[in-house]
């Protein structure tokens, strides 16, 4: 009989703990989804440089969740290009996959990747494009958009 009461008590306490956690998580989600944002930034890339950086304005909210990053740039034919994204003052960047299209005599490289990068108030989000075995086209512009939610 004692074992049966103990099992029932444990089940009730467990159900209460699970429902409390679900309410807290739901409240946080609701706060973030009510505050959607997107930012656009661009930078003209130096023809002779190996990297090109786009810097977004520093975040002004306690927590910012970047859920998507999209970019576009032109490079010379035969180039290899990679994108990374993260806060400028940190090494917490990650690779963003890209797609390549033939655009006349050069290549257009685009990226539209889902991300889950949390940023703190004051962080400056940046996208860095790195080219190898080629260069950015003359006057090439790195154009990027970030989108997500903030608290």
With a cut of 90, say whether residue 124 has pLDDT above it: yes
Max CA distance (Å), the chain: 82
- Rounded CA-CA distance 124/128 in Å is 13
Question: How far, in Å, CA of 101 to CA of 110, rounded?
Answer: 8
Regarding whether 63 and 110 lie in a shared domain, the answer is yes
Statement to judge: residues 55 and 24 lie in one domain: no
Q: How confident is the model at residue 138 (pLDDT cuts 50, 70, 90)?
A: low
- For residues 63 and 49, state if they share a domain: yes
Query: In this predicted model, what pLDDT tens digit does every residue of 1-34 receive, in sequence order?
Result: 444 443 333 333 333 333 333 334 444 544 555 6
> Above 90 in pLDDT, residue 88?
no
Q: What percent of the chain has pLDDT over 90?
A: 28
Q: Are residues 42 and 30 in the same domain?
A: no
Please state, rounded to an integer, the average pLDDT across all residues of the chain.
77
CA distances for 90 relative to 12, 69, 102, angstroms? 45, 18, 34
H or E element in which residue 26 lies: helix 2-33
- For the ranges 23-37, 81-95, 108-122, the lowest mean pLDDT is seen at 23-37
* One domain for residues 20 and 59: no
144 and 86: one domain? Answer: yes
Residue-wise pLDDT tens digits, 58-86: 999 989 999 999 999 988 888 888 888 98
**Judgement on whether residues 50 and 73 belong to the same structural domain of the protein:** yes
Dump the DSSP string for 30-89.
HHHHTSEEEEEEEEEPPTT-SEEEEEPPPP-SSEEEEEEEEEEEEEETT-EEEEEEEETT
Residues 6+ apart with CB under 8 A from 57: 39, 124
Q: Which residues is 48 bridged to in the sheet?
A: none
What is the tally of structural domains in the chain?
2
More confident residue, 136 or 104: 136
């Amino acid at each position: 009989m004692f074992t049966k009461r103990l099992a029932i008590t444990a089940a009730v306490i467990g159900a209460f703990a699970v429902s409390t956690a679900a309410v807290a998580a739901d409240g946080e989600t609701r706060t973030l989804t009510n505050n959607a944002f997107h930012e656009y930034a661009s930078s003209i890339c130096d023809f002779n440089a190996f990297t090109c950086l786009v810097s977004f304005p520093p975040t002004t909210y306690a927590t910012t969740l970047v859920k998507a990053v999209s970019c576009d740039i032109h490079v010379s034919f035969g180039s290899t290009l990679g994108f990374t994204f993260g806060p400028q003052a940190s090494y917490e960047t990650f690779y963003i996959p890209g797609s390549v299209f033939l655009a006349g005599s050069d290549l257009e490289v685009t990226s539209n990747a889902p991300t889950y990068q949390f940023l703190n108030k004051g962080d400056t989000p940046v996208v860095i494009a790195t080219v190898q075995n080629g260069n950015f086209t003359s006057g090439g512009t790195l154009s990027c958009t970030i989108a997500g939610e903030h608290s």
